[in-house]
Amino acid sequence: MNIKGYLRADGRKGIRNIIVVGHLVECARHVATEIVQPYRDQGVHLIGFPGCFPNEYADKVMRQICTHPNVGGALMVSLGCEGFDRNGLREHVQASGRPSDTVIIQETGGTAKSVAAGRAWVESALQEIASVPRVDMGIDELVIGTICGGSDGTSGLTANPGIGRAFDKFLKAGMACIFEETGELIGCEHHMAARAATPELAGEIIASVAKAAEYYQVLGHGSFAPGNADGGLTTLEEKSMGAYAKSGASIIDGLIKPGDVPPGGGLYLLDVVPDGEVRFGFPNISDNAEIVELMACGAHVNLFATGRGSVVGSAISPLIKVCANPDTYRRMTDDMDVDAGRVLEGRGDLDEVGQEIYDLTLRVAAGEETKSEAMGHQEFILTYKSFEPIGPSCLPGIR
C-alpha cells in the first residue's frame, strides 16, 4: 500500500491535512461555527472546549489535538474572559511549525467582525498548508485506535472480535494500537493482566479497572445504557467481554492516559477514568469523548464497533464503522463501512472480517474516505477531567 503522509516538523506524518477552528469556551462556539461553515468541504473542522474555568486535562488534550499529525494549522476563537490559556495554546501550535492565531471576540468587535477575521485567516492558512510536503509513510508509522458504542448482543460476537483480529495483524506490521475503556472492561482485568508485558504493568492494568469500578460505584451509574439492554445485552460483564474482544490476543505493551502518545509500535490500553476523587461526573458522557481521547494519543484512524448503529464520525481522524448486526447494517448501509454481522448469517468468518478491516484501514490511510467522512460528520466533545501522570511501570519498554 502506497501511503503518502503529510510531514510535520516533529517527524510524525499525517494521513489528512486539516485546519481546526477551536472555540475556547461555549460562549465562542457560534462564532467558531460560522467561521468554519463555508470551508467544511475543504478540510476545516470545528473543535472546542465549552468550560469557562481552566482544566489541565482539557488544556493537554487541546494541545495534542491541535498538533495532531492530521492537523495542518489551528485557529483559536476566544470570547476574551474565559480561563483557558489561549496564548499558551497558540504558542504551542506555532512552535510545532503550524500556522496558528487567535480571534478574541471582545477585542475584535463582536460576532460579525470576528467571523470575518476568522474566515480571512482560514483562507490564508488553507493556501499555506497546501504546500506541506507529502512523503512516503510506512504502515508501521500508523497509530490505530478502537472504540465500541451503541452495543447490542451481537457486538461481542462479530464486530469486536473482528477488530481484535485486525489489531493482531496491525501489531505484526509494527503499528501502535490503542484500545479502551477501563470502565467497560470490568471483570476482564485479570485476562488483560495475563497478557501484560511485565508483572508491574499487569498490576497497573488491574488497578486501572479497580479505579473505574469504584468510580462508577460512587456515581451509582455504570457504563451500561438502556439501549444496550434493549439490544440483548444482559450484564456489564457480558458487555465487558465484548469490549475486551476488540483488543485481540497480542501482548499488551503499555497503559496510557489521554494525551499520552505511544512511544512506538505495540498494544496500549487507554485509561479514560479520572484519577482522584469523583469530581466531574460521568467519565465519558458519550462515545465521542473517547474518540477525542484516542485522537489526543495520536490515532490516525479509529475503528468503531456498533451493533445498534451509530452515525457519528469525528473531526480530524477518519472513523471506520464496523457493524456487528446484519439487520442494522442493511438498515443503515449508508453509514456503515464493514458488515461484520455477516458472520452470524454464515456469509463469512471472523478472520475474513479482520482482513477486510485491515485492508480498509490501509486504504483510508492512503486517502479513501470513510462513510462518516463522506457524510460530513465532524463530532467533537471535550469536558472536565483530572489525571495523574503515568509511571515507569506503565511503559515498561521505555528506560
Residue among 156, 137, 158, 126 nearest 35 (CA): 126
Q: What angle do CA 67, 311, 346 make, to 5 degrees?
A: 115
The DSSP secondary-structure symbol of 165 reads H
Cell of 395: 511503559
What order of strands is seen across the sheet that includes strand 100-104?
Answer: 44-48, 18-23, 71-78, 100-104
Residues 163, 386: Cα–Cα separation, whole Å: 30
Indicate the pairing of strand 134-137 with strand 3-7.
antiparallel
Residue 230: exposed, middle, or buried by beta-carbon count in 10 A (0-12, 13-18, 19+)?
A: exposed
| Cβ(118)–Cβ(30) below 8 Å | no
What number of CA atoms fall less than 13 Å from residue 175's CA on the CB side?
A: 24
- The DSSP bridge partners found for residue 179 are 146, 269
Residue 320: its H or E element: strand 319-323
Residue among 380, 379, 356 nearest 166 (CA): 356
What pLDDT sits at residue 284?
85
The DSSP secondary-structure symbol of 198 reads S
Residues 110, 242: Cα–Cα separation, whole Å: 50
What pLDDT sits at residue 283?
84
Residue among 162, 168, 165 nearest 343 (CA): 162
List, in sequence order, the alpha helices (H) in 1-69.
29-36, 56-66
| Cβ-based neighbours of 187, under 8 Å, separated by 6 or more | 236, 237, 240, 241
Helices 159-172, 350-365: inter-axial angle, 10-degree rounding: 60
- In the predicted model, residues of the chain with pLDDT beneath 70 are 222-240, 398-399
What pLDDT sits at residue 399?
44
* CA–centroid distance for 4 within its chain: 22
Set out the domains of the chain in order of their start, with CATH numbers: 3-135 (3.40.50.2300), 139-394 (no CATH)
What pLDDT sits at residue 282?
83
Residue 212: its H or E element: helix 199-219
Q: What is the pTM of this model?
A: 0.95
Strands (DSSP E) found in 24-142: 44-48, 71-78, 100-104, 134-137
- The DSSP bridge partners found for residue 135 are 5
What pLDDT sits at residue 43?
96
Residue for cell digits 467481554?
A: 241
For residue 345, which phi and psi values (nearest 5 degrees)?
A: -105, 10
Residues 351, 238: Cα–Cα separation, whole Å: 22
**Would you call 179 helix, strand, or coil by DSSP?**
strand
Cell of 306: 456498533
Which is it for the CA torsion 136, 16, 10, 130, positive or negative?
Answer: positive
